[in-house]
Amino acid sequence: EIVLTQSPGTLSLSPGERATLSCRASQSLTSSFLAWYQQRPGQAPRLLIYGASTRATGIPDRFSGSGSGTDFTLTISRLEPEDFAVYYCQQFGSSRLFAFGPGTTVDLK
């Protein structure tokens, strides 16, 4: 079973700053099956990035994903007020099971 770890647990930043979020897998992943989601308070998660680096439909280009193997990164180039939220990475395994990381909270400094 592949375990995802996210760091930091909380990132305190100001609007306009750059956010760098990390997701690490306990075993090497197929990059095609690494995704990132955003969850705002009281809302369902929203798909941001799939295939490690491809933005989902309608996602602004300030969001970017990168990485391979066991280390993946979500970068928000300039934080907008609506970007303060919780971010989850997710992998899809060969057994057709989905697994989420514990999340990183981006909050207002």
Q: Is 79 exposed, middle or buried (0-12, 13-18, 19+ CB in 10 A)?
A: buried
Q: Does residue 51 belong to the site contacting other proteins (CB under 8 A)?
A: yes
**Binds other proteins by CB under 8 A, chosen from 2, 13, 47, 59:** 47
**Binds other proteins by CB under 8 A, chosen from 25, 63, 101, 106:** 101
Nearer to other proteins, 51 or 70 (CB): 51
According to DSSP, residue 33 is labeled: G
* Beta bridge partner(s), residue 108: 13
Using alpha carbons, list the distances in angstroms from residue 2 to 43, 51, 77, 99, 104: 27, 17, 29, 8, 19
Residue found by looking up tokens 């009281």 in the block = 42
Nearer to other proteins, 18 or 32 (CB): 32
**Binds other proteins by CB under 8 A, chosen from 11, 25, 38, 50:** 50
Binding site for other proteins (CB under 8 A): 1, 32-33, 35, 37, 39, 44-47, 50-51, 56, 88, 90-92, 95-103
